[in-house]
Amino acid sequence: MRPESELRRGDLAADPLEQFEVWFAEVGAAVEVPEAMALATATPDGSPSLRMVLLKQFDERGLAFHTHYTSRKGHELEANPRAALLFHWWALGRQVRVEGSVERLPAEESDAYFATRPRSAQIGALASRQSERLESRAALEHRIAELERELGDEPPTRPATWGGYRVVPDAWEFWQHRDSRLHDRFRYERERAGGWAIARLFP
């Protein structure tokens, strides 16, 4: 059962990034993978798709994740560079929704992150043609073994088809569980003159 905790307008920071930082710090002690988030993309004609990814960085520029540019989400983001994110932290009865435009991270930022990944994950990124049809698991494992032999002791280099994206928010929503489905919901929307407008929403 999720805990009930009131969320009041006066509890909220004026900037949604500051509010997210507070919640993210609080949830870190209660949730095993607080950085797990659902990422929704869509084709230009509006056909949606959804998957789980990991948040790798967030700051005043936006929220960053990494993937294959040639994956389904990569193709959809190239054609329609907008996305929605959802963090669902069941243990605290909280959700955070983010909507915004999407841009690629600079190559040097993707290189820097790729260098921090475990070697097995680096080789996996080289071996995978994410979202394409795969003949068999054995074929994938054979390709990984080939790459391990080819690389020897050399560190893998980030493939040009893999890198980071940043979601630049123009709206955030903070959702707190309440009994009888009468949840507390507050939406931040970016104002043209700068700053954020905050509104309470019906549950």
Name the residue among 140, 98, 148, 142 with its Cα closest to residue 123: 148
User: 0.85 exceeded by the pTM?
Assistant: yes
Per the listing, tokens 């954020």 go with: 196
- 148 occurs within a structural domain: no
Question: Would residue 181 show up in a list of annotated catalytic residues for this protein?
Answer: yes
15-24: average pLDDT? 98
Q: Report the chain's mean pLDDT, rounded to a whole number.
A: 95
Indicate which CATH number applies to the domain containing 49.
Answer: 2.30.110.10
CA gap 127, 125 in Å, rounded:
6
Is the pLDDT reported for residue 4 higher than 70? no
Query: pLDDT band for position 194 (50/70/90)?
Result: confident
What range defines the domain where residue 63 resides?
9-117+161-201
Q: Which of 3-7, 35-39, 141-145, 175-179 has the lowest mean pLDDT?
A: 3-7
User: Would 125 be classed as within a structural domain?
Assistant: no
Residue 197 lies in a domain: yes
The answer to the question of residue 196 being in a domain is yes
What letter would DSSP give residue 8? Answer: -
In tens, the pLDDT along 107-139 reads: 999 999 999 999 999 999 999 999 999 999 999
**pLDDT above 70 for 1:** no
Q: Hey, what are 12's tokens? A: 């909220």
Supply the pLDDT for residue 3. 62
How many structural domains comprise the chain? 1
Is 51 contained in some domain?
A: yes
Per-residue pLDDT band at 192 (split at 50, 70, 90)? confident
- Report yes or no on 102 lying in a domain: yes
CA distance 94 to 26: 11
**pLDDT tens by residue, 32-91:** 999 999 999 999 999 999 999 999 999 999 999 999 999 999 999 999 999 999 999 999
Please identify which of the residues 181, 185, 187, 192 carries the catalytic annotation: 181
Dist. CA 56–CA 167, nearest whole Å: 12
Q: Residue for token digits 């329609």?
A: 80
Is the model's pLDDT at 29 over the cut of 80? yes
Question: Is 156 a member of any domain?
Answer: no
C-alpha span between 105 and 108 (Å, rounded):
8
The three-state secondary structure class of 153 is coil
**In the predicted model, what is the mean pLDDT of residues 96-116?**
98
Residue 2 has pLDDT above 70, yes or no: no
DSSP-derived pairing of the beta strands 162-176 and 196-201: unpaired
pLDDT given at position 75? 97
The yes-or-no verdict on residue 94 having pLDDT over 80 is yes
For residue 172, give the nearest of 76, 51, 87 by alpha carbon: 87
pLDDT tens per residue across span 164-191: 999 999 999 999 999 999 999 999 999 9
Task: Answer whether residue 122 is part of any domain.
Answer: no
